[in-house]
Amino acid sequence: MGRTRKNTRNRDDISAGVRGIIAGSTEGKCDIDIPDPFCLLIFGASGDLTKRKIIPSIFRLERLNLLPRNFFILGSSRSEMTDDEFRDTMRDAVQAALPDDFSASAWKTFAKRLHYLPVGYTDVKAFKRLSRHILPLEKEHRTNGNRIIYMATPPTVLESIIQNLDDSGLSKKTTGYTHVVIEKPFGRDYDTARKLNILLKTFFEEKQIYRMDHYLAKENVQNILMFRFANSIFEPLWNRRYIDHVQITVSETIGVEHRAGYYETAGVLRDMFQNHLLQLFALIAMEPPSIFEADRVRDEKVKVFRSMRPFPVDGIDDFVVTGQYGEGKVHKKNVVAYRDEPGVAPKSVIPTFAAMKVYIDNWRWNGVPFYLRSGKRLASRKAEISIHFRPVPHIMFSQSMEEEIEPNTLVLRVQPDEGIKLSFQTKNPGSKICLNPVVMDFTYPKVFMLNAYERVLLDCMQGDQMLFVRADGMEQTWSLLTPLIEKLESAIKTDMFPNYVSGSSGPPEADALIEQDGRRWRPL
């Protein structure tokens, strides 16, 4: 499943504090293996993603002694830069991203691993220069031919890069492995995603392709399967007999910020639902895999997508609500409407909010609705999954109590305070008949934790595809959402938006979507 070598660095090299926290109460059973030597080739090395996420993540992994001694990074983009200019730019980026972890002496060592070569993405001659440039670096850093090719670029240039990788020989099998990392968005609909998959598979095997969804690497997302399948008090209840409905919420207080160019072509359904929310949905709904292995887990997720009930073309309003934020206040600060953001069209009809009701037509979940919602400029920043259990079939206290008894709810918090919360009823002390809701709350300790990008980068180095999306899963989610998106885009009129105030919980129609079923959203 992965290419790891525990002795690449002596286990004593890893700081005692980090090792202790990784081990926790398991007395050393939860080690992090050190990957083999590698070259990380980044296309889009001058871009925002490289500065904010990729290089800071690699730097922190190196600071934690979780990387091999032999590795290097070769940045490439259309910008003209020397090695030293690239190093200076990345130094500023890492210092801004990791002010508490930055060390001048550590950076001096790390900077020697950074190299740069400008490349035009449509220029095959430039790719051939890159191919010749990488060979002496691999020899110098003794990386054994292991290459990770990271596409931190706009999707419009992916086809040119993939084709030129092959024409220049960079995609050909070396003495080691070649892994290709593709950032989202992976296509913008079913046809473009399938076309990109076909192109990738022309030159690479599926086991070499790592389609990134960093949400899958968040600590409590990884915990979902462990929690479900390792606890006998929950798994027997995880079905239509005991669960009334499920809510999945990913809300943001920020607006579109600097991403208007991308967001105007995507919107919330392409940006959040096709990947993040449907991946969370699949982890909650999937059947237990036969073995905890990447492809077996991904098999079960694909089965969930295949069992999703298609959205009806007629009567779509009973299943999906979209919105766009207007002006308002967030954290007591006035904010502008989406249409007034820099780079946004004055009459844009791009949705920044969506809520939907989804059904799974299989034995476990028949008749259980899943309510999904996500949006920008909402009342709070949170990502959570709440499992709402059915009320008990007979309330023997009904004649003695005026208030309705709330059913049990299990909440899996993904961010910002990752943890698990379970609510249940107990007798209020001193009373004859008075129930009191009690909450059991576990929060992950604020100590050592790899962030999402650190985790997926480390897994990619180790050859572990558990947290990456497979081709059939990607195409299946697009096949479900593409007809819906096309229907919504053809029906939206300019006077429909904005339809919710910034700092609110979204449009009123979203409340009606769940209230018509006699339920209500968990508050933001």
Q: What type of residue sits at position 46?
A: S
Residue 401 lies in a domain: no
Measured CA to CA, the distance from residue 67 to residue 58 in angstroms comes to: 8
Quick check: is 378 in a domain?
yes
- Structural domain range at position 472: 216-388+468-515
d(CA 460, CA 448): 20
> Can you read off the two tokens belonging to residue 263?
């967001």
Q: pLDDT averaged over the chain? A: 88
Regarding whether 142 and 223 lie in a shared domain, the answer is no
Q: Helix, strand or coil for residue 375?
A: strand
- CATH code, domain with 383: 3.30.360.10
**Percent of the chain predicted with pLDDT > 90:** 69
Over residues 345-401, the pLDDT tens digits come to: 999 999 999 999 999 999 999 999 999 999 999 999 999 999 999 987 756 655 555
pLDDT at 13: 46
3-state secondary structure labels for all residues of 442-511:
EECCCCCCCCHHHHHHHHHHHCCCCCCECHHHHHHHHHHHHHHHHHHHHHCCHHHCCCEEECECCCHHHH
Q: Which amino acid is at 17?
A: G
Are 72 and 220 within one domain? no
Residues 250 and 356 in one domain: yes
How much is the pLDDT for 98? Answer: 92
Q: Please return the burial class of 422, using the count of CB atoms within 10 Å of its CB with bins 0-12, 13-18 and 19+.
A: middle
Please count the structural domains in the chain.
2
Nearest C-alpha neighbor of 39 from the set 138, 164, 112: 138
In this prediction, residues 250-265 reach a mean pLDDT of: 91
Within 13 Å and on the Cβ side, how many CA atoms surround 15? 10
Tell me the C-alpha to C-alpha distance, in Å, between residue 373 and each of 28, 236, 273, 385, 504.
Answer: 39, 27, 9, 11, 14
Last residue of a domain, one of 183, 198, 233: 183
Do 232 and 371 fall into the same domain? yes
- Categorize the per-residue pLDDT at 334 as very low, low, confident or very high, splitting at 50, 70 and 90: very high
| C-alpha to C-alpha distances, 246 to 55, 242, 315, 361, nearest whole angstrom | 37, 12, 22, 15
Among 183, 204, 237, the domain-final residue is: 183
Q: Which of 8-12, 89-93, 367-371 has the lowest mean pLDDT?
A: 8-12
Q: Which residue has the tokens 């919107």?
A: 267
Residues 249 and 314 in one domain: yes
Whether residue 325 is predicted with pLDDT greater than 70 in this model: the reply is yes
Residue 357 bridge partners (DSSP):
371
Question: Which residues 6+ apart lie within 8 Å of 456 measured at CB?
Answer: 210, 212, 214, 216, 217, 467, 468
Structural domain includes residue 268: yes
Direct distance between the N- and C-terminal alpha carbons of the chain, in angstroms, rounded to an integer? 39
Residue 191 lies in a domain: no
For 403-437, write each residue's pLDDT tens digit. Answer: 667 889 999 999 888 889 998 877 776 566 667 77
Q: Where are the beta strands (DSSP E) in 292-450?
A: 320-323, 325-330, 333-335, 353-358, 370-375, 382-389, 409-415, 419-427, 435-443
**Residue 24: per-residue pLDDT:** 38
- The CA–CA distances, whole Å, from 244 to 224, 352, 374, 387, 518 equal 19, 28, 21, 8, 11
Catalytic residues: 276
**Is residue 60 domain-resident?**
yes
Residue found by looking up tokens 């700092």 in the block: 503
- Residue 522 counted as domain residue: no
Whole-model pTM above 0.85? yes
Is the Cβ–Cβ distance between 157 and 118 less than 8 Å?
A: no
Amino acid symbol at 299: D
CA gap 285, 300 in Å, rounded: 9
255 & 368 share domain: yes
Its sign, for the CA torsion 250, 256, 260, 264, is positive
Domain edge (last residue) among 163, 183, 203: 183
Give the CATH number for residue 106.
Answer: 3.40.50.720
Q: In sequence order, what E strands does 337-434 have?
A: 353-358, 370-375, 382-389, 409-415, 419-427
- The residue-averaged pLDDT of 180-199 equals 92
The alpha-helical segments, DSSP class H, found in 74-185 are 83-97, 104-111, 124-141, 158-167
Radius of gyration of the chain, Cα coordinates, nearest whole angstrom:
25
Comparing 4-13, 221-230, 376-385, the range with the smallest average pLDDT is: 4-13
Within-domain flag for 195: no
- Position of tokens 């220069």? 129
Does residue 366 share a domain with residue 314?
yes
Q: Is residue 443 part of a domain?
A: no
What is the β-pairing status of strands 243-251 and 382-389? antiparallel
pLDDT number for residue 11 = 42
- What percent of the chain has pLDDT above 70? 89
Q: Are residues 347 and 477 in the same domain?
A: yes
